[in-house]
Amino acid sequence: MNPRERLVTALNHKEPDRVPVDLGSSVSGIAVVSYNKLKKKLGVKTETKVIDKMQQLAKLDEEILQRFNIDTRHIWPEPKTLKGEDNPYIDEWGVKRKMPKGGYYYDMVENPLAQADISEIRKYKGPPPEELGITKELERKAKYLYENTDYALVTTFPGVFEKAWELRGIQRLFMEIALDKKLVVTLFNKVLEIELEIYEKLLTYIGKYIQLVMFTEDLGREDGLLFSPKFYREVLKPCQKELIQLIKKHTQAKIAIHSDGAIRPLLKDLIEIGVDVINPVQATAKDMDTKKLKKDFGKDLCFWGAIDTQKILPYGTPQEVKDEVKRRIDDLAPGGGYLLASCHNIQADVPPENIIAMFEAAWEYGEY
């Protein structure tokens, strides 16, 4: 099979020739520091460019992607209007970010709606799609990759809750979830309104070319959910449902949600609103055992990720990395439905030997 056929087959819960492999999204990329070490190890001498300023993710060279037999290519809208100095800077949504001394990525330091009341939240405009890099040029890029390569095409964008806490500030928003439901609903609805416009423009341009679209929406911590199932079902779930309905209107692509943490209690809800794939499958979190997830949800959900980035990739030996890859393939790949990737971005402390071991093991053990 070619890479596109391989991914489509897997996402339709059928076994392809081998497990498809992903690298390069905003949650399965490589930090610039570790990427430079990897290129040195492999003898690749190109200049490294940053594709995600906040996370300091590298723009991946085609030579690297081919070296590791990566089946996906990611469609990245590249924002046009970063304001202010390099450090700190203000992004298109008005969030101020600063990299601390000795840091590896930018932290939020000011949130544009932190002090806003309900009437001010309703007046917030958000960035037009063009400022986020959603232009005809993005359509041309997607069309070229679709027509001139056989890679599976993927795109990623923020979800409602993720963008809401960036705009409000996460501590303040959590207090208001407990104390001021009306304000939270107003904020979520405002974010949804803006994101519906953004997604509609994005998918009008690229929807017919892509095979997988993901929205990033952390719902869990390592030992449980970030909020009660009741709050999720009453407030956030209807927003996600509306967003998914719009996505399905404009593309035949499968829909993934990115959420770290212990999200098992919400998996039936996510299936109900149309989620096809969960990412990153944080197997170290409570009740996220990959074998049990496959057994209980494998008929309805596909799994994307699962290779541990907390301990195994940064601190394990190459053999331990290979053992991890084999374990996740054994648990998640039978019957199709698995897209292999790191559990999150490969961070600055991951040695190049372990990155190489992960993708070599994916090739060694991934054949059906």
Residues of the chain with pLDDT under 50: none
Q: What pLDDT sits at residue 79?
A: 78
Parse the chain into domains and list their residue ranges.
Answer: 3-81+113-365
Q: Does domain 3-81+113-365 have CATH number 3.20.20.210?
A: yes
Rounded distance, CA 316 to CA 306, Å? 15
Residues whose CB falls within 8 Å of the CB of residue 89, separated by 6 or more in sequence, listed in order = 53, 82, 83, 96, 97, 106
Q: What pLDDT sits at residue 307?
A: 98
Phi and psi at residue 168, to the nearest 5°? -95, -30
Measured in whole angstroms, how far is the alpha carbon of residue 261 from the centre of its chain? Answer: 14
Q: What pLDDT sits at residue 80?
A: 66
- The whole-model pTM stands at 0.97
Q: What pLDDT sits at residue 82?
A: 60
The angle formed by the CA atoms of residues 88, 90 and 93, to the nearest 5 degrees, is 155
User: Which of 76, 79, 45 shows the shortest CA–CA distance to 59?
Assistant: 76
Q: What pLDDT sits at residue 154?
A: 98
Q: What pLDDT sits at residue 86?
A: 84
Q: What pLDDT sits at residue 244?
A: 98
Q: What pLDDT sits at residue 83?
A: 62
Q: What pLDDT sits at residue 84?
A: 62
Question: Burial, 174: exposed, middle or buried (Cβ in 10 Å; 0-12, 13-18, 19+)?
Answer: middle
Q: What pLDDT sits at residue 78?
A: 81
Rounded distance, CA 339 to CA 307, Å? 11
Q: Which residues pair with 212 in a beta bridge?
A: 154, 254
